Amino acid sequence: MNAAILQTNFTFPGQKNFYRGKVRDVYTVEDKLVMVASDRISAFDHVLPRPIPFKGQVLNQIATFFLNATSDIVPNWLLSSPDPNVSIGLNCEPFKVEMVIRGYLAGHAWRTYKSGERKLCGVDLPEGMKEADRFPEPIITPATKAEEGHDEDISKEDIIAQGIVSAEDYAQLEQYTRALFKRGTEMAAKQGLILVDTKYEFGKKDGKIYLIDEIHTPDSSRYYYADGYEERQAAGEKQKQLSKEFVREWLMAHGFQGKEGQMMPIMPDPFVEEVSNRYIELYERITGETFQRQDTRDIEKRIYKNVIVAL
C-alpha cells in the first residue's frame, strides 16, 4: 500500500504559527497561510486512526480546481499550489460560521427529518419528503464553527442576534453561497453528477470578504450519480453516491457514531484501499481529468522543498 501522511511537523523560515485541523496542517508564514492537506480522514467530528493514501492530494487538487473555476463569483484566498498536497494563500480572519447549503434531503438533514423534526436551523422543511428528495429550492442551514468537537446547527436569526456575523455581511455570505452552489451544480451536471449538499467558509481581510478553505471536495460535499437517480428514487432505493457518507455508514455498521463510550473501529487494509479509490474516482469524475498519483516516497521532503521554493 502507498505511503500516506498522517501529520506534518515542519518549521518554515518566517513561521509564526501552526494549527492542526481535522485534515489540514496549517502554517502561518509571514503574512501567508500554508495549508498542507494530510491524508487524515474524519467522520462524526473524530479523526480516524488510519490515513487514506492520496486523499490529501485529491482534496487539495479538487479545491484548487474549484477555487480557480469560481474566482469570478467571489474572491478567494488562494495564491498558489506549489505541491499536489499544498495550497498557499491569504491569511484571512475567518467568520465563525460554516455556510451549509442543501439541494437534497440527505445526511444530517435526513437524519433530523426522519426523527420527526420539520425545522432545521430555522428553516421549515416540507412535509412528505423521503431521503434524497430534491428540495423545491436549495436551503441554507448554517453551523457554528467549533474549534474542537461538534459544529452546532444555528439559525440565520441567531447568528445575527448574537453578533457572530453582521446582517450586512451575512446577506453577502448568503448571496455568495447560492451563487457558488449554482456553479458547482452546473459543473457537476456536466460530469454526470448531482451536487447534493456542501459547505463554504469565508473570511475577511482588509474589510473584504474572501472564500477560504476547500470547496466542492468529497470532505465538504456530497455527490450522487445523476444516471439512474430518478429510477432509484421512484423505487425507494439508496442513491449511488460519491462522498464520505459510505465511511460514516461503515462506522455506524461497526457500532460507532462518535458518541461517548463508543470504540472507534480500525479500518482494515481492503477498506482503506477502497476509500482511496473512491476519492480518486471522485477527482476524475468531477474534474474530467485523469488523476496523476504522485510518488509518495519521501513525500514530506518533497512538500518542504516545494513550499520553500514558493515562499
**DSSP sequence for 67-83:** HHHTTTTS-BSEEEEEE
Question: Which candidate, 40, 53, 81, 104, places its Cα nearest to that of 278?
Answer: 53
For 107, the 3-state DSSP assignment is helix
Alpha carbon dihedral 153, 156, 158, 162, in 10-degree steps, equals 110
Which contacts (CB < 8 Å, 24+ apart) does range 258-262 have? 258/43, 258/44, 258/45, 258/46, 258/150
Q: What is the pLDDT of residues 225-236, one digit of tens each?
A: 999 999 999 999
Residue 299 pLDDT more than 90?
yes
Q: Span 114-143, mean pLDDT? A: 97
Residue 149 pLDDT more than 60?
no
Write down the pLDDT at residue 244. Answer: 80
Q: What is the pLDDT of residues 98-112, one digit of tens each?
A: 999 999 999 999 999
Indicate where the chain has its CATH 3.30.470.20 domain(s): 94-242
Residue 1 pLDDT more than 70?
no
Q: What's the pTM?
A: 0.89
Question: Which candidate, 64, 73, 108, places its Cα nearest to that of 186?
Answer: 73
Indicate where the chain has its CATH 3.30.200.20 domain(s): 15-93+268-310
CATH fold for the domain made of 15-93+268-310: Phosphorylase Kinase; domain 1 (3.30.200)
Assigned CATH class of 94-242: alpha beta
Q: How far apart are CA 168 and CA 174, in angstroms?
A: 10
**Local confidence band at 45 (pLDDT 50, 70, 90 cut-offs):** confident
**Local confidence band at 148 (pLDDT 50, 70, 90 cut-offs):** low
What's the CA angle centered on 268, arms 265 and 271, to 5 degrees? 105
